[in-house]
Every structure is written in structure tokens, then in C-alpha cells.
């Protein structure tokens, strides 16, 4: 046993050093998307390539495999949910995957991901898919190589999905999303047939950016984002980046004539950040101090954005604050009218601005398109037309241009293929977690109306954040709620909230 402890400590020190390197990668990534001059992209790509190669080399050193073999039968590994057991389990899983990837491929994926995002940003700004197509074609080919090197149980997409949602299968996600779609489509149709529509012009008025920024800062702090350990900046595509145990950064983008974009974007990214800030800092860089999956991560952002931030109770507390911030636009607008406007349900073109009821349809079509790209059933030049076809099929709309169509998301440009499904999984996790928190805490609405968000934040930290990777996502949701993941809580939430608004 003493030798086992020494071996574990050696591995822990090694992975903490790797965490330092990956935090530097994250810092460069944040800088790239917030502050990097346009001409600095090529050299940033070289920096990221070097770091990716260094990290990969350290993750695949042969002695790691030997050390994990020594620990496999010891008491330290006996309980897979303990701090040591989870660490050994996750290190083994990661090592077995990483050793299959050639270092040259890892480095090229890092390089092309930086360049791809640079090309995408300009292409989106110029509405020029043709300028983006060549590098996207290269990215798709590299991701095929990655999937083939890793191997997969059923299809290539499994290998890439596993990076974001460990242990999940494409077939299971397709089954879950298909079941969700079967209930969402009739709900959206009922809403459309209700004859009720809110006055959405109420949120399309002048909202000066300076006041939006101040309000966003205030609300993020109120729900629990610690600005002593984080900051809020602007970028082309909002994101959250954890750079260390006490450095988590969120970003947003502002529209001076639209309230929802920045406000709910800040709530969303703050939700991600509260998860990061709720991890155990003494285990930073090791599995008990890391997030379990992107689906669980997304559940935290969608929970604060939608289940809290679009609730009536939330606005009973915050609406006077917002009216004070924007007196010319909202002082004479009743709370009920504003609340209906921010919960408007109608098909739309932009994923990040979609309502709760139609959002998952945006995810489903992306999930299908990226599978087709990876399998070779869809070529990159044909992607814009396929995108338009899917939007007509799923949402009854067609983008007027590629900037509001196939170029709207940053993910594929950075090589994040297999990512989109985690958004819908996050919505499902969020609703199930929230329903349980509501039962455990004895009525969240009354607390929100009083401006009390700490009880929910503390519950999330205890039940989810502090658990790190000690449980898989599937184990965690069943441990917290007593039931496996289901779409029923999300449908119940939508019907409970939207029913009174639309007379369903």
C-alpha cells in the first residue's frame, strides 16, 4: 500500500503539471477570441500547436500505463466513486484513448482549429461561405482521421461524441432526441394555433450597451458568479473559459436594440462559470476537481438562463431593477407584458436566441448534419443548401444568407464536432435537476421572488459541482434525482410555464 500511495501521488503531480499547461492553452484561447489582433492568428496557431503537442506527449508517456496497471488492484481503486478511485478510473480512460492518437494529428488539429476560427469569423462577418469551405473540408477530414484512430462501437460519431459526453453513444442520443422531438413538435403547433402572441417589440427597443453591461454584471453577481475569481468581456460568439481554480472568464455580445441577447447570454455563461467556480480547488487538474461532461455543464447554464432567468418569480424581483436601468424603454411596460415577450415561442433562425420550446430543433438538425459530414454523406460545398432544407423541414424557415444560416456557430470551425448534442442533453439534465431542487428546497419560486438565489446555488454545488468526475453523467443524474435521464421533466416544465401564457 505505501508504494501504491507513492505511485498515486506521482501520477497526481504529473496531471497537475498537465493542468498548468492546459490552463495556458485556455488562456491563449480566451485571448484569441477577445483580444488577439487579426494579423496574430498564424502565430497563435503555432503557439497552440506547440502546447497541444507538449500536453499530448505528457498524457501518453509509457510510464503512466505501467503506473495505472500497478494501481488497478489496490484499495485506492476499489471504490470507483472515491477521489482516488475516480482519478484512477478517469486517468485510465483518458490514457487508453490518447495513446491511439498520433502526436502529429493532435498538433494539426490544434493548429487548424485556431486558423479555422480566424477564417470563420471573417467569413461570417462577410457572409462568405466559400471562403470558409476549404478549411472546413480540412477539419472534417482530420476529424475522420481522429475517429478512425480512436475506434468506435457503432459509428465514427461515437468516437467524437465521447470526447464531450463520455460513454455516450450516437444511437442513444438519437433515440432520446427523437422522443423529445415527438413531444415538442405538437407543443409548438398548439402554441402556434393558440392565436396568442406577445408584443416582442418590447424587447426590441433602445437598450444602451453601457447600461446592459452594468446590469449584466449586477445580475451575474447576484446569482453567484464571483467576480473576484472571474471577469466578463465581449466577443463574437459568447463562451466561458476556466483558466484555473480561481480564474473563470465569461463573455457576451451586445445588441443596443435588443434586450435578450446579452442579458440571457450572460446568465447562460454565468451558469457555466458557477459550475467551474463550484469545483473543489484542492483537486484542480485531477478528476474529482473537473467537470463531468458537457451535457452536465450545459445543464448548469440552461438552468440559470431559462429555468431561473425566464421564470416569473425571477422577474418579480428583477424587473424594477431593469426598468430603472432602461426607463425610456421599459418604465411604462407592465411586468406581465415583458414576461410574455421574453418567453415568446416561435420558430427562429438563430440558435442562441431560440426560445425554450424550439431550441432543441436547432440542435437536432445540427446533430444530423454533422453526422452526414463525418460519414461522407454530405460534402462541405453542399452544406449551405442542406442547412436551408433542414431549417425548412424542422422550423418552417429559411435563412436569407449564410451568415444567419450555416455560418452562425463557431463550433465546427474549431473542430468541435460531436458537441451539439450536449446542448439538448443539457436541457434534459437541467429540467430534471431543477425539479428535484424545487422539491428538496421547498419551493424555489418564492425564494427567487425575494431575490434569494443562494439556496439553489448551494444545492447545485453540493449535489453536482463538488462531485467532479466521481460519477458519470448518467450516474450523477440518477444519484441526484433518483431516476434515469428523461425528457418528461422538460416537457412538464414547458407545459406548466407556457400553458397559461398561450391558453393551452
Q: pLDDT at position 1, please?
A: 59
| Domain boundaries defined on the chain | 2-131, 170-502
Write down the catalytic residue from 269, 290, 305, 370.
269
pLDDT at 504 over 90: no
Q: Say if residues 304 and 223 touch (Cβ distance below 8 Å).
A: yes
Average pLDDT over residues 344-367: 92
pLDDT at 156 over 70: yes
Q: Which three cell numbers stand for residue 439?
A: 422539491
Residue with cell 505501467: 66
269 counts as catalytic: yes
Q: Which three cell numbers stand for residue 312?
A: 416569473
The tens digit of pLDDT for each residue in 190-235 reads 999 999 999 999 999 999 999 999 999 999 999 999 999 999 999 8
Q: Say if residues 363 and 423 touch (Cβ distance below 8 Å).
A: yes
CATH for the 170-502 domain, from 3.60.130.10, 3.60.15.10, 1.10.1370.30, 3.90.550.10: 1.10.1370.30
Query: What single DSSP character describes residue 245?
Result: T
Q: In angstroms, rounded to a whole number, what is the distance separating the alpha carbons of residues 194 and 320?
A: 30
- What are the distances in angstroms from CA 484 to CA 80, 181, 455, 475, 493? 19, 19, 24, 8, 17
Q: Look at residues 461, 441, 465, 451 and name the one whose alpha carbon lies nearest to residue 222.
A: 451
Q: Say if residues 450 and 317 touch (Cβ distance below 8 Å).
A: yes
The tens digit of pLDDT for each residue in 94-130 reads 999 999 999 999 999 999 998 999 999 999 999 999 9
What is the average pLDDT value for the chain, to the nearest integer?
95
Q: pLDDT at position 353, please?
A: 83
Q: pLDDT at position 372, please?
A: 96
Average pLDDT over residues 400-409: 94
Alpha-carbon torsion (252, 255, 261, 267), positive or negative: positive
Instruction: Please name the residue ranges forming H helices in 194-307.
Output: 209-223, 260-277, 294-302
pLDDT at 75 over 90: yes
DSSP, collapsed to helix, strand or coil, labels residue 250 as: strand
Q: In angstroms, rounded to a whole number, what is the distance separating the alpha carbons of residues 297 and 464?
A: 10
pLDDT at 2 over 80: no
If residue 490 lies in a helix (H) or strand (E), which one and from where to where? helix 488-502
Q: pLDDT at position 33, please?
A: 87
The tens digit of pLDDT for each residue in 232-268 reads 999 877 899 999 999 999 999 999 999 999 999 999 9
Average pLDDT over residues 401-407: 95
Task: Output phi, psi for 243, to 5 deg.
Answer: -105, 0
Q: pLDDT at position 352, please?
A: 83
Q: In angstroms, rounded to a whole number, what is the distance separating the alpha carbons of residues 133 and 382?
A: 10
Q: Look at residues 174, 48, 21 and name the one whose alpha carbon lies nearest to residue 116.
A: 48
Average pLDDT over residues 349-355: 88
The tens digit of pLDDT for each residue in 291-312 reads 999 999 999 999 999 999 999 9
Q: pLDDT at position 124, please?
A: 95
Q: In angstroms, rounded to a whole number, what is the distance separating the alpha carbons of residues 372 and 370?
A: 5
Q: pLDDT at position 237, please?
A: 78
Amino acid at each position: 500500500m505505501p508504494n501504491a500511495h507513492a505511485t498515486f501521488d506521482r501520477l497526481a503531480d504529473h496531471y497537475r503539471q498537465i493542468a498548468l499547461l492546459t490552463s495556458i492553452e485556455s488562456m491563449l484561447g480566451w485571448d484569441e477570441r477577445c483580444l488577439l489582433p487579426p494579423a496574430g492568428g498564424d502565430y497563435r496557431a503555432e503557439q497552440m500547436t506547440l502546447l497541444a503537442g507538449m500536453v499530448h506527449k505528457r498524457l501518453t508517456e509509457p510510464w503512466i500505463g505501467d503506473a495505472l496497471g500497478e494501481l488497478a488492484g489496490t484499495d485506492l481503486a476499489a471504490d470507483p466513486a472515491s477521489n482516488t478511485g475516480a482519478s484512477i478510473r478517469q486517468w485510465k480512460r483518458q490514457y487508453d484513448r490518447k495513446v491511439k492518437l498520433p502526436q502529429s494529428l493532435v498538433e494539426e488539429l490544434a493548429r487548424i482549429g485556431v486558423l479555422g476560427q480566424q477564417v470563420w469569423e471573417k467569413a461570417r462577418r462577410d457572409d462568405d461561405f466559400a471562403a470558409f469551405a476549404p478549411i472546413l473540408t480540412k477539419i472534417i477530414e482530420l476529424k475522420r482521421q481522429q475517429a478512425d484512430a480512436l475506434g468506435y462501437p457503432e459509428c465514427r460519431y461515437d468516437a467524437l461524441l465521447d470526447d464531450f459526453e463520455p460513454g455516450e453513444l450516437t444511437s442513444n442520443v438519437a433515440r432520446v432526441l427523437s422522443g423529445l422531438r415527438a413531444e415538442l413538435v405538437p407543443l409548438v403547433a398548439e402554441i402556434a394555433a393558440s392565436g396568442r402572441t406577445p408584443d416582442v417589440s418590447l424587447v426590441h427597443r433602445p437598450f444602451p450597451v453601457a447600461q446592459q453591461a452594468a446590469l449584466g454584471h449586477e445580475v451575474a453577481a447576484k446569482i453567484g458568479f464571483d467576480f473576484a475569481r472571474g471577469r466578463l468581456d465581449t466577443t463574437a460568439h459568447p463562451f466561458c473559459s476556466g483558466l484555473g481554480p480561481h480564474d473563470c472568464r465569461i463573455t457576451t455580445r451586445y445588441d443596443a436594440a435588443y434586450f435578450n441577447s446579452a442579458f440571457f447570454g450572460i446568465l447562460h455563461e454565468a451558469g457555466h462559470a458557477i459550475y467551474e467556480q463550484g469545483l473543489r480547488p484542492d483537486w484542480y487538474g485531477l478528476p474529482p476537481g473537473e467537470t463531468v461532461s458537457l451535457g452536465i455543464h450545459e445543464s448548469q447554464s440552461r438552468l440559470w438562463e431559462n429555468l431561473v432567468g425566464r421564470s416569473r418569480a425571477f422577474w418579480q424581483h428583477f424587473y424594477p431593477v431593469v426598468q430603472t436601468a432602461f426607463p425610456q424603454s421599459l418604465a411604462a411596460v407592465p411586468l406581465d407584458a415583458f414576461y410574455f415577450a421574453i418567453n415568446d415561442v416561435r420558430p427562429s433562425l438563430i440558435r442562441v436566441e431560440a426560445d425554450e420550446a424550439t431550441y432543441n430543433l436547432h440542435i437536432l438538425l445540427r446533430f444530423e448534419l454533422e453526422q452526414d459530414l463525418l460519414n461522407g454523406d454530405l460534402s462541405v460545398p453542399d452544406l449551405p443548401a442542406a442547412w436551408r432544407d433542414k431549417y425548412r423541414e424542422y422550423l418552417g424557415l429559411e435563412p436569407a444568407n449564410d451568415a444567419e444560416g450555416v455560418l452562425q456557430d463557431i463550433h465546427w470551425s474549431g473542430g468541435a464536432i460531436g458537441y451539439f448534442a450536449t446542448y439538448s442533453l443539457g436541457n434534459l439534465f437541467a429540467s430534471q435537476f431543477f425539479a428535484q431542487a424545487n422539491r428538496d428546497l421547498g419551493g424555489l419560486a418564492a425564494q427567487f421572488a425575494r431575490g434569494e438565489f443562494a439556496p439553489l446555488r448551494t444545492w447545485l454545488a453540493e449535489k453536482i459541482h463538488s462531485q467532479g468526475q466521481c460519477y458519470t453523467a448518467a450516474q450523477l443524474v440518477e444519484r441526484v434525482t433518483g431516476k434515469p435521464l428523461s425528457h418528461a421533466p422538460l416537457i412538464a416544465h414547458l407545459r406548466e410555464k407556457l400553458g397559461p401564457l398561450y391558453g393551452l
